[in-house]
Amino acid sequence: MKSNPSLARHSKPTWSKTAGHPTFSTWGVGSVAASLLLPLALTGCLPGPKYHTPSAPASAAPAYKESTVNFQDAPGWKVANPQDAMLKGKWWEIYNEPELNALEEQLQIDNQNIKVSFENFMEARALIREAKAQYWPTITTSPGWSRNKSSGNLGRSATANAGSTASTWAFPFDVSWTPDFFGKIRSEVREAQYGAQVSAADLENEKLVEEASLAEFYFELRGQDALQKILDDTVVADKKSLDLTQTLYDTGVDQYISVVGAIATLKAAESAALNLGVARAQYEHAIAMLIGKPATDFAMPVKPSLIPPPAIPTGVPAQLLQRRPDIAAAERLLAEDNATIGIGYGAFFPNVTLSASGGFEASAFQHWFDWPSRFWSIGPSISQTIFNGGLYRAELQQYTATYNANVATYRETVLTAFQQVEDYLAATRILSEQEIKQREAVAAEQQYLDLEMGRYQTGIDPYIDVMTAQTTLLGDQETLASLQIQESVASVELIQALGGGWDVSQLPTPEQLSVKPSKTDYVMQK
């Protein structure tokens, strides 16, 4: 966890750049520390190392490996040209599905996870203003009235007296200000600003995750509808086959075993058709939750629709670091960590406070605000920790270790991004090629079933051959539908891996985040 140390001076840290961050040694105190404080106060420089974006394992390849020329002639390949094109804004509109578009718009308004991330973002913006408030003096007042009676048995006189009674009317003001001579407050402001940028990127990443989940569930649900139609059509065909075998048996042309086989085939198809309702219901409920609707009150009409996914513009690998909000969040977290190190450096310097108090005080109300009733005092103070057992030096080492660990996390995030893009490019390519072959298999099996049915009706082949052909055709049709679902889902996952329609230019600047949001901002962002 990050802590916010008070100012101290038990040692003077020096640092040399090692992977961009400090190593430590300890000098004496006294005149050596003074030689450091004076230049820093005069120049107004921020303590600690200057931030530079660390190197990342970016690719200089002109195209992704899985979209190179080796695969451009593959049937069904789904990569758009030119390669440097990018998705923009509402990426889901590329599918030309009005129903999906409406659901995605609803998700932007009512998704609860997005709302949580948005409020976290607004909280992070408020923390900037909290940090900036330290630039200003603090003014307090505590008006009051008191009435006091002194004891009558005080003093050397042996004779008791009645004592005295007095009233006091006071209206004091206290002013306290800690100027940012050594950059500690500025480091805290920058830490808060970079933290808000992290939160902004996290918000965009959460939106992308929820948008992609909704699109995937939508295509899964439509896939279940398509599978349902296949099975419903199979049930109809199997009923006709049963009627035929029953007629042939009744007329003495066929044996009863064919009727039993036809009944078994029909019942198996009916059972499979019923089972599909489980998955469809779950996808429908998941969509309801994503758009903020109770599952009890939400329903989607049946629509057996499995359309090929559109060509997806992938851009070039060099753009990936600018397109993914999770990469932007990981990089801004490093900037925040660097500012935390600056706060740690600020802990070694003294805390200078300018204080003043004044106001009016009188024993009678009518003289409360008379000019002679005024009082005041003023004076600066300096606080400095002389020794704390090496606490601040250890905290600096802690902050530096946190930074270095997050550098590794940042680079891992980049590597994961490239892996995911290549994974889903391969998936869309292979699945689209497999789908074409599977269509050919379905067409051939349908032809085989038609021929076999003719042979059975003429008494050449037994009904068991028809049953075998029916089962094989149904399996091929289900496999084709499953491939189409997988291809649509893989295309959504590819878009998510590419960062959707976002790029780093949309990340708010520290200056934009420091402005207090208006009511309009709340409405627009919600």
pLDDT at 75 (0 to 100): 60
Interval 454-473: pLDDT, tens: 998 888 989 899 999 999 99
Interval 120-178: pLDDT, tens: 999 999 999 999 999 999 999 999 988 887 777 765 555 556 667 888 888 898 999 99
Q: Are strands 374-383 and 138-141 parallel, antiparallel or unpaired?
A: unpaired
pLDDT at 74 (0 to 100): 53
Beta-bridge partner residues of 357: 174, 377
The domain locations on the chain are 31-48+89-146+167-305+326-525
pLDDT at 162 (0 to 100): 65
Percent of residues, the chain, with pLDDT higher than 70: 85
DSSP state of 159: S
How many of the other CB atoms lie within 10 Å of CB of 457?
14
Amino acid at 294: P
pLDDT at 32 (0 to 100): 36
pTM for this entry: 0.83
CA proximity to 206, closest of 292, 111, 88: 111
Question: Residue 10: which pLDDT band, with cuts at 50, 70 and 90?
Answer: very low
Fold of the domain spanning 31-48+89-146+167-305+326-525:
Outer membrane efflux proteins (OEP) (1.20.1600)
Average pLDDT over residues 64-72: 65
Beta-bridge partner residues of 353: 381
Distance, in Å, from the CA atom of 267 to the CA atom of 25, rounded to the nearest integer, reads 81
Average pLDDT over residues 180-199: 94
- Asked if pLDDT for residue 433 goes beyond 50, the answer is yes
Angstrom distances, CA of residue 55 to CA of 20, 168, 307, 424: 11, 68, 42, 26
- Asked if pLDDT for residue 44 goes beyond 70, the answer is no
Distance, in Å, from the CA atom of 404 to the CA atom of 256, rounded to the nearest integer, reads 78
Q: Could you tell me the sign of the dihedral formed by the alpha carbons of 425, 430, 433, 436, in that order?
A: negative
Torsion (CA) 276, 281, 284, 285 in degrees, nearest 10:
-150
Strands of 17-102, DSSP E: none
Average pLDDT, the chain: 85
